Amino acid sequence: MMTPLSRSRRVLGALLCCATLGLAGCSSIDVQDYRSERPQLDLRHYFNGRLDAHGMFQDRAGKVVKRFHVAMTASWQGDTGTLDERFTYSDGSTQRRVWTLTPSPDGGWVGRADDVIGEARGEIAGNTLRWRYVLALPVDGKVYHVDFDDWMFLMDERVMLNRSVMSKWGFRLGEVTLSFYKQTE
């Protein structure tokens, strides 16, 4: 006969086993997985001049909550890049974010903007750039610090696709998807 204590131990053991197997099945994607992908991304070249982007935010269920357009002007002074982003959202609201980009000693990139907590850390391999940062996100009169895992893929000399996963305390909040288009000079 099984006692309540032994039943609890079996249930706990089964749950721990499932959790361990579940975590073992999760593999993290590394930006270096894309090192042989072409065209090679040169941040200074792609983010230079005028760009347009169209995007959307989807909640964790996949519902499109907000659409937006971004008009961007990018320029460089030596090793320092400035990306001036002007957002227009589907509800008519607007926002501006100005990024400052600099190379880091480890070969990656550092990004700073007024609503980024600390700094964004970027790594490039092949056609791919991965940014990780915390954004101060205003929602309904409150500001939340949200983690962004931002993947950008250069498709050709003018088109870049961007997918960001937003999370808080490890819980997925939603995704942002963008398509960038570099204007000809």
Return the CATH number at 36: 2.40.128.20
Domain annotation covers residue 177: yes
Domain annotation covers residue 19: no
What is the structure's pLDDT at 7? 58
Among the ranges given (2-11, 29-38, 158-167, 168-177), the one the predictor scored with the smallest mean pLDDT = 2-11
CA dist., res. 169 & res. 105, Å (int): 29
CA dist., res. 34 & res. 20, Å (int): 28
pLDDT, the chain, mean: 90
Range of the domain at 91: 31-182
Confidence of residue 8 (pLDDT cuts 50, 70, 90): low
Domain annotation covers residue 142: yes
Q: Which residue has the higher pLDDT, 139 or 14?
A: 139
Q: Count how many domains the chain has.
A: 1
C-alpha angle 47-51-57 in degrees, rounded to nearest 5: 100
Instruction: Compute φ and ψ for 171, nearest 5 degrees.
Output: -95, 130
Per-residue pLDDT at 21 exceeds 50? no
Instruction: Compute φ and ψ for 72, nearest 5 degrees.
Output: -125, 140
Length of the chain counted residue by residue: 185
Q: Is the dihedral of CA 52, 180, 39, 133 positive or negative?
A: positive
Domain annotation covers residue 14: no
pTM (2 d.p.)? 0.84
Are the C-beta atoms of 57 and 70 separated by less than 8 Å? no
What is the structure's pLDDT at 31? 97
Q: Quickly count: other Cβ atoms within 10 Å of residue 98's Cβ.
A: 14
Q: Two tokens at 65?
A: 């909550």
Per-residue pLDDT at 82 exceeds 60? yes
CA dist., res. 148 & res. 154, Å (int): 19
Per-residue pLDDT at 100 exceeds 60? yes
Domain annotation covers residue 15: no
Domain annotation covers residue 135: yes
What is the structure's pLDDT at 72? 98
Domain annotation covers residue 56: yes
Q: Which residue has the higher pLDDT, 94 or 15?
A: 94
